[in-house]
Structure 1
Amino acid sequence: MPELPEVEVVRRGLVRWLRGRTITSVEVLDPRSLRRHALGPEDFIGNLQGTTVVDVVRRGKFLWMPLRDTPSAAAAPEQSVPAVALMAHLGMSGQLLMQDPSVPDEKHLKVRLRLSPADGMPDELRFVDQRIFGGLFVTDLVATDDGGPGGLAESPLPLIAEEAAHIARDPLDPAFSFGLFYSRLRKRRTGLKRALLDQGLVSGIGNIYADESLWRAGLHYARPTDKLRRSDAERVIASAREVMLDALEAGGTSFDSLYVNVNGASGYFDRSLNAYGREGQPCNRCAAVGINSLIRREQFMNRSSYTCPVCQPRPRNGRW
């Protein structure tokens, strides 16, 4: 499943092609991709046709496009503030692709949005989904609980898609508060990785980037959160931010050929991973100082965790 850097790669691509353009028509080829839009395809189409995409916003792995009813710059101020958004849930295999109409339809094309013409830009946004775990839907925008921007965007507004309002800010969000994160973290009685995967505490950190962040920070996933020093918490958040920025520079991590960005290109950060998926391989940090230590894999919450037994020692009082 795409993680935060993959979704941010998609956001950056979409905002380049979509911002300020009007949705002229909508074609639903498979209603199953609209199952999260409770009122069905006709209402979905009616809510989108004739609207203008104001921006593309991301918080954690949630992605949405605020919509304005009119593109007119002379509209009254209350009309210029978007009230609804088109939200995309990529699921396991969802793709948002910008294509020219001349490009043949993809095999698993589910929804097509035609856009107002723009010089040198593709005129269609296509939602493709082989496994049909993802989908599109229209949602209300609500005020953020802290008065800050809803998420990462080109023109941030203090609005957030209703379905994303319950999740915390992510480490790449300029409005992320370490103080608030640490205060909430210390109140938990759980293991550090389990806490990092809790989207209500900090969003956007999935299994891959949790392992990579903990490896960079030199911390074991079972470290108790209620006893974690502030300096250790600062180090793991800084590591998470560094890992995600490195992944963004590389275009995301792609273990699945189905993940592509808006231009159809796969990510390749998996070539730079230090922990995740490297069971039985030398730990790069230990090897650099002449220590022979192999990355090990352990079962964790029906998944796997990858750690170095030397530079990420398991605490005696660890928690899952």
Structure 2
Amino acid sequence: MPELPEVEVVRRGLARWVRGRTVTGVEVLDPRSIRRHALGTEDFIGNLEGATVLDVVRRGKFLWMPLSMAGSDTALPGTALMAHLGMSGQLLMQDPQVPDEKHLKVRIRLSASDGMPGQLRFVDQRIFGGLFVTSLIPTPDGGPGGLGETPLPEIAEEAAHIARDPLDPNFSFDEFYRKVKARRTGLKRALLDQTVISGIGNIYADEALWKARLHYARPTDKLRRGDAERVIEAARDVMNAALAAGGTSFDSLYVNVNGDSGYFDRFLHSYGRAGQPCERCGALIVREPFMNRSSYRCPKCQPKPRAKSPRG
């Protein structure tokens, strides 16, 4: 599943192509891809046609496009087109003459703009993702809802419960540290908890922990402030490096809005490298069970905590 850097790559691409453009037509080829829009296909289309895309915003792995109707320059109180990429969802910008993709589910036609593709297409092979129109509500802290080109104090209702992510300019380390210390769990579990910090998935958690030289089971209630600062800075470094590489693509299902794959997988230090030497000390990377998934770590650089810690 795409993680924060992959979704941010898509957000930046969309912002370049769709901001300020009006939806002139919508075609739903597979209603399963708008199943989260409870009022059905006609209402989905009716909410989009004639609306202008004001921005493309992301918090964690949530992505939405605030909308305004003709004659309005604000989305508060308003609506947004929410995109959930799931395992294989792709948002592609295409010219009308480009043949339809095999798994095209929704086509959104946009107003003409010099040199810009005329269609936003949602393609999804496995149909775990989808699009739906949602409400925008004021943010609880009065800050911007997420990372966008024009920060506004509004957030898609479905994303309001999650914490800010490490790349959000309004991320508060003090708030993160307070939440972490209040929990009695392992550090990686806390990093994956979207109510503590959003946007960090299994890949980037392992990479951040490797960079910070911390074991995934380090007890959070005993976590020193300096260690917490180190892992957050490591997460930022890893994600920014992934952004520079266009994200991490292990297969052809994750692509950006131009259909290109990322290549950060070539620079992973721990994730997926079981049995290979640690690039820092030479010890062999180990793979261990974790929450029905796996954790990868260097046994020398990331030793087990001395004190008894929570499982996982």
Matches within 5 A, 1:44-123: 44-70=44-70, 72=71, 75=72, 81=76, 83-123=78-118
Q: Out of 192, 195, 205, which is 2:190 matched to?
A: 195
Structure 2: 5+ residue stretches without partners: none
TM-score (norm: length of structure 1): 0.96
- Verify the 8 A CA contact 2:96 2:119 in the aligned structure 1: yes
In structure 2, C-alpha distance between the alignment counterparts of 1:195 and 1:86, rounded to whole Å = 30
Shift of residue 80, structure 1, vs aligned partner:
5.9
Tell me the secondary structure at the aligned position of residue 286 of structure 1. Answer: coil
Aligned position for 1:246 = 241
C-alpha change, 1:220 and 1:130, in structure 2 (3 Å) is same
In structure 1, C-alpha distance between the alignment counterparts of 2:275 and 2:24, rounded to whole Å = 54
Matches within 5 A, 1:173-188: 173-188=168-183
Aligned position for 1:9 = 9
In structure 1, C-alpha distance between the alignment counterparts of 2:196 and 2:105, rounded to whole Å = 34
Aligned position for 1:27 = 27
Shift of residue 257, structure 1, vs aligned partner:
1.2
Structure 1: 5+ residue stretches without partners: 288-292
Letter aligned with residue 269 of structure 1: F
- Verify the 8 A CA contact 2:254 2:261 in the aligned structure 1: yes
Aligned position for 2:230 = 235
Tell me the secondary structure at the aligned position of residue 5 of structure 1. Answer: helix
Shift of residue 274, structure 1, vs aligned partner:
0.2
Q: Out of 277, 301, 318, which is 2:309 matched to?
A: 318
Q: What whole-Å deviation, never above 9, does each CA across 1:144-163 have from its counterpart, x for those lacking one?
A: 00000000000000000000
Letter aligned with residue 236 of structure 2: R
In structure 1, C-alpha distance between the alignment counterparts of 2:221 and 2:116, rounded to whole Å = 51
Aligned position for 2:164 = 169
- Verify the 8 A CA contact 2:76 2:137 in the aligned structure 1: no
Matches within 5 A, 1:160-309: 160-287=155-282, 293-309=283-299
TM-score (norm: length of structure 2): 0.98
Q: How many residue pairs were aligned?
A: 310
Shift of residue 137, structure 1, vs aligned partner:
0.1
- Verify the 8 A CA contact 1:91 1:134 in the aligned structure 2: yes
Letter aligned with residue 318 of structure 1: S
In structure 1, C-alpha distance between the alignment counterparts of 2:101 and 2:145, rounded to whole Å = 33
In structure 2, C-alpha distance between the alignment counterparts of 1:302 and 1:100, rounded to whole Å = 42
Letter aligned with residue 309 of structure 2: G
Letter aligned with residue 144 of structure 1: T
Shift of residue 55, structure 1, vs aligned partner:
0.1
- Verify the 8 A CA contact 2:11 2:56 in the aligned structure 1: yes
Tell me the secondary structure at the aligned position of residue 100 of structure 2. Answer: coil
Using the TM superposition, name which of 130-139 and 251-260 deviates more: 251-260
- Verify the 8 A CA contact 1:67 1:82 in the aligned structure 2: no
In structure 1, C-alpha distance between the alignment counterparts of 2:26 and 2:35, rounded to whole Å = 16
Matches within 5 A, 1:144-163: 144-163=139-158
Shift of residue 256, structure 1, vs aligned partner:
2.2
Q: What whole-Å deviation, never above 9, does each CA across 1:251-310 have from its counterpart, x for those lacking one?
A: 0001121100000000100000000000000000113xxxxx100000000000000000
Tell me the secondary structure at the aligned position of residue 285 of structure 1. Answer: coil
In structure 2, C-alpha distance between the alignment counterparts of 1:105 and 1:250, rounded to whole Å = 28
Shift of residue 82, structure 1, vs aligned partner:
5.8
- Of all paired residues, the percent bearing the same amino acid is 77
In structure 2, C-alpha distance between the alignment counterparts of 1:127 and 1:80, rounded to whole Å = 23
- Verify the 8 A CA contact 1:68 1:82 in the aligned structure 2: no
Shift of residue 83, structure 1, vs aligned partner:
0.6
Tell me the secondary structure at the aligned position of residue 246 of structure 1. Answer: helix
In structure 2, C-alpha distance between the alignment counterparts of 1:40 and 1:203, rounded to whole Å = 30
In structure 1, C-alpha distance between the alignment counterparts of 2:11 and 2:242, rounded to whole Å = 14
In structure 1, C-alpha distance between the alignment counterparts of 2:69 and 2:280, rounded to whole Å = 54
In structure 1, C-alpha distance between the alignment counterparts of 2:263 and 2:41, rounded to whole Å = 36
In structure 2, C-alpha distance between the alignment counterparts of 1:160 and 1:242, rounded to whole Å = 26
In structure 2, C-alpha distance between the alignment counterparts of 1:131 and 1:230, rounded to whole Å = 42
- Verify the 8 A CA contact 2:20 2:54 in the aligned structure 1: yes
Shift of residue 139, structure 1, vs aligned partner:
0.2
Using the TM superposition, name which of 81-90 and 246-255 deviates more: 81-90
In structure 2, C-alpha distance between the alignment counterparts of 1:197 and 1:133, rounded to whole Å = 20
Shift of residue 81, structure 1, vs aligned partner:
3.9
